[in-house]
Chains A and B, each alone.
Chain A
Amino acid sequence: MDLNRRQFFKVAAVGLGGSSLAALGMAPTPAFAEQVRHFKLAHTIETRNTCPYCSVGCGLIMYSQGDAGKNVKQNIIHIEGDADHPVNRGTLCPKGAGLLDFIHSPSRLQYPEVRKAGSKEWVRVEWDEALDRIAHLMKQDRDANFIEKNAQGQTVNRWLTTGFLAASAASSEAGYLTHKVVRATGMLGFDNQARV
């Protein structure tokens, strides 16, 4: 489209003088323009996303309020299926349709927690601590149970005592990387689909 100056449809902010309203004697009172100047604007943001539940990967439109630039916390107020998305064409399953409650659920896990062996309590930990702990425990288990050779003496490099469950809505590229990393450790129990 040719975006030259002439094609702007510019509304005269001051009293709508020069508009068809004024020319036909129907302009609103001068107070109206002053009033409009003080009207508050409400903003919503619409964002595309992918449903996290299963590997179908339905498209979503999430509506949020609050302006990130103005230091106000953003709040998601509505979620619907994305009618333009080729996978679901605007439809959602009952789980997907309940996503808003999932996001605002008071029992939603928002940070890593650990319940140590023998304890009844979940304790909040930092991400670094959680990742270190997982790595240590995995290494310990792998060192203890890794099978290098089978009974016939053939090299098998298996690690059967730990399994791995990865993201359902990951892209093909992320899936490929996950697969490479996990298989490199010798792990066999591995699923890249969370059918939760």
Chain B
Amino acid sequence: MSTILEPGQIEASAVAPPFIHLPPKDLFAQRAERLEQLAVGNALGDYLRLIAWLCRFQQQLVDNPPGGLPVAEARQRLCMSHGLPPLAADSLVREGPWLAWMQALIEHFDEEASGPLAVALQALRDSDDSQRKGWGIALLAGQFDAVPAALVPFLGAALQAAWFSWLLALPAAELKPSGSQAQCPACGSPAMAGVVRNRGKHNGLRYLACSLCACEWHVVRVKCVYCESSKGLRYTSLEDDRHAPGKAPLRAECCPGCNSYLKQSYLENDAAAEPLADDLASLALDMRLDEEGFHRLAPNLMLAPGGG
């Protein structure tokens, strides 16, 4: 006996791909684990372990948030119906609800630190809200040189934890594409990296991960996210012995049109990849591409790059 397919059964393959891929609730714990895994044998191992340590505090903040969603439901709906980011980073960082997360993060540091780390933690403790707010504004505006480099990862951690908590409280499935595909539809921040996913309805699709709230949104592949050109794109990685040609788990999409690049992870080649962790661990690729004359527009809030 044959089965007759009902319209709904085959519809899934014909509709548009899901626009939003929400990160898991334990994102920061997973990130910490991935960082520790990548730290082994990496020239930047110590730094990756420091960020992993910081990620565990971020997870504690998300599990016990020091504040609620600062955006009223009416404003959320208004933003979403107009395709504007409801958690707009440029206004919320000035309104300052994230400072409670910053304070809570600082209070978590009870370990005995020494050296430059202790100095940085002390500088954070000694700063007041207005100073912290100024640093936060500069950091989210991409002015890394206006913030003490040693404090950047701590400020970034508090900002990320706050926005991630708020993202989870949003009806994120209703988010719509904004004008620029390189900017997050939830908070308007620039993308940090791309992920080509490998499972279920997201299989083979590229999502860009937000540098601030970690929201992931769909952007068509094989197209420069900055200038939307699809001509002459090359996917560049550092040659190594562990991966067959074309199987590198992380490649930078280099656009000869606008001379910029965006790193992207292929989950098919490494299912455990996590955008932020893998981005930090592959800093050597950034250094090498800088030498080749390519620009990076994607910030990573856990690192002041120091290139001015």
B interface footprint on A55-93 (CB within 8 Å = 1, 0 otherwise): 000000101010000000000011011111010111100
Distance of A78 Cα from B245 Cα, bound (Å): 10
User: Residue B117 at the A interface, CB < 8 A?
Assistant: yes
Complex contact B239–A41 (CB within 8 A): yes
Task: Pick from A5-13, A105-113, A169-177, A186-194 the stretch touching chain B.
Answer: A5-13
Distance of A48 Cα from B46 Cα, bound (Å): 41
User: Which residues of chain B have C-beta atoms less than 8 A from A26's C-beta?
Assistant: 44, 46-47, 50
| Smallest CB gap from A84: residue in B | B220
User: Which residues of chain A have C-beta atoms less than 8 A from B300's C-beta?
Assistant: 9
Distance of A95 Cα from B116 Cα, bound (Å): 61
User: Residue B284 at the A interface, CB < 8 A?
Assistant: yes
User: Which residues of chain B have C-beta atoms less than 8 A from A102's C-beta?
Assistant: none
User: Residue A23 at the B interface, CB < 8 A?
Assistant: yes
Distance of A11 Cα from B234 Cα, bound (Å): 20
Complex contact B246–A6 (CB within 8 A): no
Distance of A28 Cα from B284 Cα, bound (Å): 11
User: Residue B170 at the A interface, CB < 8 A?
Assistant: no
Q: Size class of B's contact patch? A: 35 or more
Distance of A1 Cα from B208 Cα, bound (Å): 15
CB distance from B61 to the nearest CB of A (A): 20
User: Which residues of chain A have C-beta atoms less than 8 A from B246's C-beta?
Assistant: 44, 63, 65, 77-78
A interface footprint on B236-268 (CB within 8 Å = 1, 0 otherwise): 111100000110100100000010000000000
Complex contact B308–A18 (CB within 8 A): yes
Task: Pick from B67-75, B76-84, B102-110, B138-146 the stretch touching chain A.
Answer: B138-146
User: Which residues of chain A have C-beta atoms less than 8 A from B115's C-beta?
Assistant: 25
CB distance from A85 to the nearest CB of B (A): 10
Distance of A44 Cα from B238 Cα, bound (Å): 11
B interface footprint on A22-40 (CB within 8 Å = 1, 0 otherwise): 1111101100110111011
A25-B115, A44-B235 given; A1·B204 CB < 8 A: no
User: Which residues of chain A have C-beta atoms less than 8 A from B22's C-beta?
Assistant: none
Distance of A77 Cα from B245 Cα, bound (Å): 8
Complex contact B47–A44 (CB within 8 A): no
User: Which residues of chain A have C-beta atoms less than 8 A from B24's C-beta?
Assistant: none
User: Which residues of chain A have C-beta atoms less than 8 A from B180's C-beta?
Assistant: 1
**Which residue, of A17, A48, A89, has the highest number of chain B Cβ atoms within 10 A?**
A89
User: Which residues of chain A have C-beta atoms less than 8 A from B226's C-beta?
Assistant: 1, 3
Task: Pick from B1-9, B28-36, B128-136, B288-296 the stretch touching chain A.
Answer: B288-296
User: Which residues of chain B have C-beta atoms less than 8 A from A42's C-beta?
Assistant: 236-239, 245, 248
User: Residue A19 at the B interface, CB < 8 A?
Assistant: yes
A19-B306, A78-B246 given; A45·B204 CB < 8 A: no
User: Which residues of chain B have C-beta atoms less than 8 A from A19's C-beta?
Assistant: 149, 303-307
CB distance from A20 to the nearest CB of B (A): 5
CB distance from A193 to the nearest CB of B (A): 22
Distance of A6 Cα from B308 Cα, bound (Å): 9
Distance of A156 Cα from B115 Cα, bound (Å): 97
Complex contact A23–B204 (CB within 8 A): no
User: Residue B92 at the A interface, CB < 8 A?
Assistant: no
* B237 touches which of A36, A41, A84, A89 (Cβ 8 Å): A41
Distance of A45 Cα from B235 Cα, bound (Å): 6
User: Residue B64 at the A interface, CB < 8 A?
Assistant: no
| Smallest CB gap from B258: residue in A | A3
Complex contact A21–B47 (CB within 8 A): yes
Complex contact A16–B306 (CB within 8 A): yes
Complex contact A11–B305 (CB within 8 A): yes
A8-B296, A19-B304, A41-B236 given; A48·B117 CB < 8 A: no
Residues of A within 8 A of B (CB): 1, 3, 6-13, 16-26, 28-29, 32-33, 35-37, 39-48, 61, 63, 65, 77-78, 80-84, 86, 88-91
Please provide the 4 A-B residue pairs with the shortest distance between their CB atoms, ordered closest to farther: A10-B307, A18-B306, A19-B306, A83-B204
Q: A41-B236, A45-B235 are in contact. List 10 more A-B contacts (CB 8 A).
A: A1-B182, A3-B226, A9-B300, A9-B305, A12-B305, A16-B306, A39-B238, A40-B239, A41-B288, A44-B248
